[in-house]
Amino acid sequence: MPDATSSAILAALKYQGWPAVAGGIGDRLARLRWPDDVEAERVALVPVPLAPVRERARGFNQAERIAQAVAGHWGIPVWSDVLVRTRATPSQTRLTPGERMANVHGAFVTNAPCADRLRGRHLVLVDDVLTTGATLNACANALFAVGTRTLSYLTFGRARTATDR
């Protein structure tokens, strides 16, 4: 995270039951400038799915709420139905990069009826935080497996790493 404020915003969203903050996050993310070709080609936002048990406990998927807020500004749809989490995975907050990769390996597949919609498309994967990229990369593997042409990643935060100053 770049600062304590963004950390507090994400904690409010994920752990304190404040889904309304996703609107402000999405408003700010939607203002980011992307290369012209990305802006012209992107056809949908795809939120990283939560395990059903985690989504029931939280009451919402934070990545989906952020994606919905961005979609309103960009004028493209949110495709929440294209990725499926095949199993609940333990929280990654205390895992090493290698453990994170193993934790989410094979945890995502595409929803088979959506394969034609994905083929040859440029999609934007949305998650709340990027730490090692393991979750986003696992989602990307599932989307590329059915012929998605290009993926861009959109996250609000980036967790600090050992090499950050």
Q: How far out from the chain centre does Cα 114 lie?
A: 18
pLDDT, tens only, 99-128: 777 667 777 889 999 999 999 999 999 998
- CATH number for 68: 3.40.50.2020
Contacting residues for 12 by C-beta, under 8 A, at least 6 apart: 18, 21
pLDDT, tens only, 38-80: 999 999 999 999 888 888 888 889 999 999 999 999 999 999 9
165 in a structural domain: no
Cα angle for residues 95, 8, 158 (degrees, 5° grid): 45
Tokens of 75: 């004028």
Looking at the structure of the chain, the number of domains it has is: 1
Q: Where does 60-163 show beta strands of DSSP type E? A: 83-85, 108-110, 122-130, 150-158
Rounded-to-integer distance, Cα 29 and Cα 55, Å:
23
Rounded to an integer, the average pLDDT of 120-148 is 92
The residue written with tokens 């203002």 in the block is 31
The pLDDT value recorded for residue 107 is 76
- State whether the Cα torsion 48-51-22-93 is positive or negative: negative
Give yes or no for residue 91 having a pLDDT over 70: no
**Does the model's pTM come out above 0.75?**
yes
Q: How far out from the chain centre does Cα 29 lie?
A: 13
Give yes or no for residue 4 having a pLDDT over 90: no
Rounded mean pLDDT of the chain?
Answer: 85
Task: Give how far Cα 4 sits from Cα of 9, 126, 159, Å.
Answer: 9, 22, 11
Rounded to an integer, the average pLDDT of 17-31 is 85
Tokens of 109: 């597949």
Domain carrying residue 27:
4-158
163 in a structural domain: no
